[in-house]
Chains A and B, each alone.
Chain A
Amino acid sequence: MPKLTINNRTIECENGQTILQAAQAKGIQIPTLCYLEGKDPLGACRVCLVEVEGAKTLMPSCSTPVVEGMKVHTNNRKVREARKTVVELLLSEHEGECTLCPRTEDCELRELAGQLGIDVVEYEGEKPPRAVDDSTPALVRDSGKCIKCRRCVTVCQEVQHVGALFPQYRGYETLIGPAFALQLDDVPCVQCGQCAAVCPVGAITEKSHIDAVWKALEDKDKFVVVQTAPAIRAALGECFDLEPGTLVTGRMVTALRELGFDAVFDTNFTADLTIIEEGTEFLTRVRRTFIDGEKGLLPMFTSCSPGWIQFAEYFYPEFLPNLSTCKSPQQMFGAVAKTFYATEKGIPPENLVVVSVMPCTAKKFECQRDEMTASGYQDVDYVLTTRELGKMINAAGIDFVNLPDGEMDLPLGLSSGAADIFANTGGVMEAALRTVYELVTGRPLPMENLHILPIEGLEGIKQASITIEKPVKEWAFLDNVTVKVAVAHGLSNAAKVLDGIKDGSLDFHFVEVMTCPGGCIGGGGQPRFTTDETRKARIKAIYKEDEGKPVRKSHENPAIKEIYEKFLKKPLGEKSHHLLHTKYQKRVKEGAKKK
C-alpha cells in the first residue's frame, strides 16, 4: 500500500487510488464539481487542483494517481488562489441569478464560491448564448447555468445507457445536450432525471409543479388528495438536514396535513394492489407457458418504473410484450382515487385532484401519458419530487424536524411491508415472491424474515432461484420447478440483462427492472447528493419500515381485500383490466415528441 503525505500528514492508501480518493478516504476534503464516485475521472472542472511537490504545475487530484512518497498540498496559498481563479472563471460564464434559481439551496458552485470567499468576479466578458429547454414534461435544461462538468453526460451514457446528452461543438461554443441543438423531446430521453440528480448547478432541474399544487390547495372547490411513494419516507428528512436513512413517515403525514391536503394516502396501498395484479398476471403467464405451451410470455418484466418503460419503448421494443401490463402504483392510485374513492366519498371526480410525491422525475412524464386517463380524467394531476415537497414544507414555515407523527387516512393509506420495499432494488421482486410463493404452495416464503438475500444490495444485476415444492393442487404442475428471477437497477444493467436474454446466455422467468441505481430510493427526484452510502442508509431504513409492519405480505392487507370485495371483484377482472392495466408503444428515436 503506497504512502503519501497530504498537508504534512502521512497516510496510507490503496493501490491505484487517485489523490482525491486517498484524501477523501481519510476525511481530507478537496472540492470538485465534476467527479462522480465509481466513474472514470474527467478532469473537466479543474477545481480539485492540488500542489504536488516536484511537479511543474498544479495537478487535478481526481485524475492524478498516488505515487509512493508523494507530497501533496491541498490547501496552501498557491492552491487556494488557483482554485479561486478557476471558480471565478466558471462564474464569469455562469448565469448566476442565485436568488431566482431552483438550486439556490443546494448548488455546489454557490457553496464553493462561498467557501473560497469570492465576493466579486473580476472577469467580465462575453457569455455564450443561453438556451432553455423545457420541451419535456419532466426536465428543464438551462445552458446558461451549465458549467460543462459533464457529470450528466457520464450518467446518461454509462449508468443509464441512454446517451441523450453529449458535448456538442467546441471550446467556448460547447453545449452539453442532445445532438446539435435539438431539444430533449426530440431525442430518446427517458426522463429519469439522473442528470438532474448529479448536476452541481441549476442547469438541469425537474419541471416544478409546486405552483400548480399550491393553487389546487387554495381552491375551495377542489378536494386534494396526496399519495406518497415508498421511497419518500426514507429520504425526505434529508431536506431538513436529518441523516440519510432517517424514517420520517409520521412527520411527513403531519406536514402534508399542515400543507392543506384533504386526505393523505399512500402509494404503498397501490403497491400492494400491483402485487396482486402483477402476481396474478405472472402466474397466468406461467400457466399458459407450462400448460398451454404458449411461447414468448416469459420472462415477465416489472413495469413500475416509468423510465424503464420508456427505455424499453425506445431501445428494446421487441420486449414490450414481456412487460407486465400493470400500471405503476402511482397510476393505479390515480385511477382508483378518481373512481372507487370518489364514488365512496361522493366527490365528483372532476373536483378531485390527485397529487403524487415521487422520488422520480419520469413520473411527471408518466402521469401525462395519453393512456393514463382511465377514470375519464387525467388520473394523476401533479407530481412533486421529494425535493419539491421539501421546498413546500420549508416555504410554509413548518418545523418539520419537530413535528409529531401522523397517520395516513383510510382506506388508501393502509399498506403492508411488502409495499414499503418497492422503494429499493430487489424490493418489488421480493414483494411479488412473498405473495406468489404463498399462492402456489400455500406456505409462506421459506426465507428468514421473508427476505431474499441474493437480490438485496447494490450489485447491478442480481439473480436468485427458488424451487417450488409441494404446490397446492391448482399449481401441481409446478412441483419441482425452479423459478429463476433477476433484478437489475440502472438502465445499463437492464440492457445487459436484455442483451443476455436475446442472445440466449441468460434465462429467467421474472425480471425486476428499476431505472435508477439503488431503485427509487436513488431516484432522480431525491434530495441531493445521493452517494452509495446514502443509498445504503435509505435502503436500511426501508427494510426497517417493512419489518415494523404488522402485515408484511400484500395479499394480507385488509384494505386490499376490501377493495376487491367492494369494487374490483377479482384480479385481472374487467374493472382491473380497465383501470389498472395499460399498453405500451414502440417509440421511434428520431424526432419523436413525448407523450
Chain B
Amino acid sequence: MKRKQAVQSIPKEPENRTDSCEPTEEELLRSLDVVIDGYSKTEGALIPVLQSAQNLFGYLPETVLRHISTRLKLPYSQVTGVVTFYSFFSTVPRGEHVVRVCLGTACYVRGGKEVLATLRKQLGINVGETTQDRKFSLAVGRCFGACSLAPAVMVDETVHQRVRPAKVKDLLTMYREAKPGLREAS
C-alpha cells in the first residue's frame, strides 16, 4: 500500500461522460445526507455511511470524507483511519472493474502473490491504482472465505477460484470485452 496516497477531489467534468443525467456532486451529497440522517441516532454509523458514500460516488474523495466527518461529528482522523484500514474503501477513482487479489494466508501460500505480480505487470499499475483507460483498478483483499479454492481473485462481485498466473490474461480479456451489464451477471 502506498503510504502517502493522495486524495483526489472529484473531477469537475467527468471524463468520457456526456450523459446529462449524471448527478452533480451537490446532488450526490444530498443523497448522502439522506443516508446520514437515517443514522442520526445510531452509534457505529461510520462504516455503513462510508459504504453508501462509496456506492454513490464510486470512491471516497476528500470532500466527501470531510463532509462525513462534519455531519457525523467524528474527527477527520478517525474517518480516514477507518477508510485506510479497510481495503474495501478507496480514496482514488476506480475503474469499471475492481480486481481484488486475495492475500489471506491460504491464498498467499498457494500463489496469490504470483497472481498479483502478473496482474500488476499486465495492467501496468500498482495496488491501489487504476488503469489509464479507467477499465481496471487493482486491490488486495484479506480472505474472501474461499480458502479451499485458493488462490482467489474477486472481480467486482464475482469470486474466481484457483486462478493461475497463466489464466490472468484470459480473465482480463473477458472483462475488457464484456458488454456493460454483463458485469453483475459474472
A204 to chain B, nearest CB (A): 15
Supposing A169-B84, A170-B85 touch, asked if A179 and B3 sit within 8 A by C-beta, the answer is: no
B121 to chain A, nearest CB (A): 23
Q: How many residues of A contact B (CB 8 A)?
A: 21
CA of A167 to CA of B4 in the docked complex: distance in angstroms? 14
Interface residues of A in 170-217 (CB under 8 A from B): 170, 173, 175, 177-181, 187
B48 contacts partner chain A, Cβ-Cβ < 8 Å? no
- Please state if B79 and A180 are interface contacts (CB–CB under 8 Å): no
B186 to chain A, nearest CB (A): 29
Interface-located stretch among B49-57, B70-78, B147-155, B162-170: B70-78
- Please state if A163 and B80 are interface contacts (CB–CB under 8 Å): no
- Please state if A179 and B80 are interface contacts (CB–CB under 8 Å): yes
Supposing A170-B85, A590-B66 touch, asked if A175 and B3 sit within 8 A by C-beta, the answer is: yes
Supposing A166-B81, A170-B84 touch, asked if A180 and B5 sit within 8 A by C-beta, the answer is: yes
Interface residues of B in 60-116 (CB under 8 A from A): 65-66, 74-81, 84-85
Residues of B close to A175: CB separation below 8 A: 3
A275 contacts partner chain B, Cβ-Cβ < 8 Å? no
CA of A383 to CA of B68 in the docked complex: distance in angstroms? 38
Residues of A close to B77: CB separation below 8 A: 163-166, 168, 177-179, 187
A129 contacts partner chain B, Cβ-Cβ < 8 Å? yes
- Please state if B78 and A166 are interface contacts (CB–CB under 8 Å): yes
Closest chain B residue, CB of each to CB of A174: B85
CA of A175 to CA of B77 in the docked complex: distance in angstroms? 11
- Please state if A589 and B76 are interface contacts (CB–CB under 8 Å): yes
Interface-centre pick from B7, B66, B77, B85 (highest chain A CB count, 10 A): B77
Supposing A169-B1, A173-B1 touch, asked if A179 and B76 sit within 8 A by C-beta, the answer is: yes
Q: How many residues of B contact A (CB 8 A)?
A: 17
A157 contacts partner chain B, Cβ-Cβ < 8 Å? yes
Residues of A close to B75: CB separation below 8 A: 157, 162-164, 166
- Please state if A169 and B3 are interface contacts (CB–CB under 8 Å): yes
Residues of A close to B84: CB separation below 8 A: 168-170, 180
CA of A180 to CA of B84 in the docked complex: distance in angstroms? 8
CA of A589 to CA of B1 in the docked complex: distance in angstroms? 27
Closest chain B residue, CB of each to CB of A131: B3
A439 to chain B, nearest CB (A): 41
Interface residues of chain B: helix, strand, loop or mixed (majority): helix
B74 to chain A, nearest CB (A): 8
Residues of B close to A165: CB separation below 8 A: 77
- Please state if A163 and B4 are interface contacts (CB–CB under 8 Å): no
Q: Digit string of B131-165 for contact with A (CB within 8 Å is 1, else 0)?
A: 00000000000000000000000000000000000
Residues of A close to B4: CB separation below 8 A: 180-181
Residues of B close to A166: CB separation below 8 A: 75, 77-78, 80-81
B25 to chain A, nearest CB (A): 17
CA of A1 to CA of B47 in the docked complex: distance in angstroms? 40
CA of A480 to CA of B142 in the docked complex: distance in angstroms? 69
Q: Digit string of B1-12 for contact with A (CB within 8 Å is 1, else 0)?
A: 101110100000
CA of A129 to CA of B3 in the docked complex: distance in angstroms? 9
- Please state if B79 and A179 are interface contacts (CB–CB under 8 Å): yes
CA of A589 to CA of B66 in the docked complex: distance in angstroms? 10
B17 to chain A, nearest CB (A): 28
Interface-centre pick from B1, B76, B81, B85 (highest chain A CB count, 10 A): B81
Residues of B close to A169: CB separation below 8 A: 1, 3, 84-85
Interface-centre pick from B4, B76, B85 (highest chain A CB count, 10 A): B76
Closest chain B residue, CB of each to CB of A169: B84
Residues of A close to B7: CB separation below 8 A: 180
Which of A129, A162, A168 is B80 in contact with, Cβ under 8 Å? A168
CA of A167 to CA of B81 in the docked complex: distance in angstroms? 6
Interface residues of A in 152-168 (CB under 8 A from B): 157, 162-168
Closest chain A residue, CB of each to CB of B76: A179
CA of A166 to CA of B84 in the docked complex: distance in angstroms? 11
Which of B1, B3, B65, B78 is A163 in contact with, Cβ under 8 Å? B78
CA of A157 to CA of B3 in the docked complex: distance in angstroms? 23
Residues of A close to B80: CB separation below 8 A: 166, 168, 179-180
B139 to chain A, nearest CB (A): 13
CA of A484 to CA of B76 in the docked complex: distance in angstroms? 36
A224 to chain B, nearest CB (A): 40
Residues of A close to B78: CB separation below 8 A: 157, 163, 166
CA of A173 to CA of B3 in the docked complex: distance in angstroms? 8
Interface-centre pick from A129, A157, A166 (highest chain B CB count, 10 A): A166
Closest chain B residue, CB of each to CB of A179: B80
CA of A94 to CA of B79 in the docked complex: distance in angstroms? 27
CA of A591 to CA of B77 in the docked complex: distance in angstroms? 13
Interface residues of B in 1-51 (CB under 8 A from A): 1, 3-5, 7
Residues of A close to B1: CB separation below 8 A: 169-170, 173
Interface-centre pick from A169, A179, A181 (highest chain B CB count, 10 A): A179
CA of A306 to CA of B75 in the docked complex: distance in angstroms? 21
Interface-centre pick from A177, A180, A181, A187 (highest chain B CB count, 10 A): A180
Q: Digit string of A329-363 for contact with B (CB within 8 Å is 1, else 0)?
A: 00000000000000000000000000000000000
Q: Digit string of A128-168 for contact with B (CB within 8 Å is 1, else 0)?
A: 01000000000000000000000000000100001111111
Closest chain A residue, CB of each to CB of B75: A163
A53 to chain B, nearest CB (A): 31
CA of A167 to CA of B65 in the docked complex: distance in angstroms? 16
B91 to chain A, nearest CB (A): 8
A142 to chain B, nearest CB (A): 15
A148 to chain B, nearest CB (A): 12
CA of A590 to CA of B70 in the docked complex: distance in angstroms? 11
CA of A557 to CA of B165 in the docked complex: distance in angstroms? 84
Closest chain A residue, CB of each to CB of B66: A590
Interface residues of A in 85-116 (CB under 8 A from B): none
CA of A187 to CA of B66 in the docked complex: distance in angstroms? 12
7 A–B contacts from the bound complex (CB under 8 Å): A163-B74, A163-B75, A163-B76, A166-B75, A167-B85, A168-B84, A181-B3
Q: Known A-B contacts: A166-B78, A179-B81. Give 11 more (CB < 8 A).
A: A157-B78, A167-B81, A167-B85, A168-B80, A177-B77, A179-B65, A179-B76, A180-B7, A181-B3, A181-B4, A589-B76
A-B residue pairs, 5 tightest by C-beta: A163-B75, A166-B77, A179-B80, A166-B81, A169-B84
Residues of A within 8 A of B (CB): 129, 157, 162-170, 173, 175, 177-181, 187, 589-590
